[in-house]
């Protein structure tokens, strides 16, 4: 197993920095595809999955090492007591410096299996902060903090706002042909889970982990 994937290990959990392009768990259709869970189990056969990241998304994940920790961490994710922050490079330059997206999301809502904003969906929230922009490229660096945890939530919210993520070929609504072409040649989708904060299952203290951003506006 690649040792640079491991960020932290203790008796309760393992923190991993997942690379882009790697599945979190076994694919339902192509069961022989390599996935992160399988890789981590080579060193920690007891680990249990607590949450997921999209295949195209990189960043921090926590895996539980025993049943008690698994229940404790699952409870925090379900009660939205976990703080997650993401770095994003998106198309176009938002007029806002900070924006609270509050839209009902319907998972698997269209023929392309996208999560869409729909009155039939479930209430969701994501806070966005514009950190920097490049007017010559018409792209922006944004921090995203989801307060709910639906599939493709950040991708769907940004697409709905007219700021699809660079390198995201699924959520590309409203992009120009030039922007769509730039997505096709991008080396990856520019979405990275850089910060994770939760209560430790043993100490009951809040702890946090962070990584450097693996991409830039340049």
Q: What is residue 49's three-state secondary structure?
A: strand
Report phi then psi at 90, rounded to 5: -120, 160
Asked if 198 contacts 83 with a C-beta cutoff of 8 angstroms, the reply is yes
Backbone φ/ψ region at 84: left (φ over 0), alpha (ψ -120 to 50), beta: beta
H/E stretch holding 83 reads strand 83-91
Catalytic choice (54, 110, 168, 187)? 54
Asked if 39 contacts 26 with a C-beta cutoff of 8 angstroms, the reply is no
CA–CA distance, 176 with 181 (Å, rounded to integer):
9
H/E stretch holding 13 reads strand 13-18
Q: How many CB atoms lie within 10 A of CB 31?
A: 8
Catalytic residue flag (residue 27): no
> Active-site positions?
54
């Amino acid at each position: 197993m690649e040792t640079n994937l491991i960020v932290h290990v203790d008796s309760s959990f393992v923190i991993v920095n997942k690379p882009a392009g790697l599945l979190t768990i076994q694919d339902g259709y192509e069961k022989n595809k390599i996935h992160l869970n399988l890789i981590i189990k080579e060193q920690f056969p007891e680990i249990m999955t607590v949450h997921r990241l999209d295949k195209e998304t990189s960043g921090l994940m926590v895996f539980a090492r025993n049943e008690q920790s698994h229940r404790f961490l699952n409870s925090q994710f379900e009660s939205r007591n976990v703080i997650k922050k993401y770095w994003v490079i998106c198309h176009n330059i938002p007029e806002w410096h900070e924006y609270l997206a509050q839209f009902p999301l319907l998972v698997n809502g269209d023929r392309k299996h996208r999560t869409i904003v729909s009155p039939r969906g479930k209430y969701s929230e994501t806070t966005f902060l514009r950190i920097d922009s490049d007017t010559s490229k018409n792209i922006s660096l944004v921090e995203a903090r989801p307060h709910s945890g639906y599939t493709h939530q950040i991708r769907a919210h940004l697409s709905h706002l007219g700021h699809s993520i660079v390198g995201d070929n699924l959520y590309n609504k409203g992009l120009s042909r030039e922007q769509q072409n730039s997505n096709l040649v991008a080396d990856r989708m520019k979405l990275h889970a850089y910060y994770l904060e939760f209560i430790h299952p043993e100490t009951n203290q809040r702890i946090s982990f962070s990584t450097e951003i693996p991409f830039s506006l340049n």
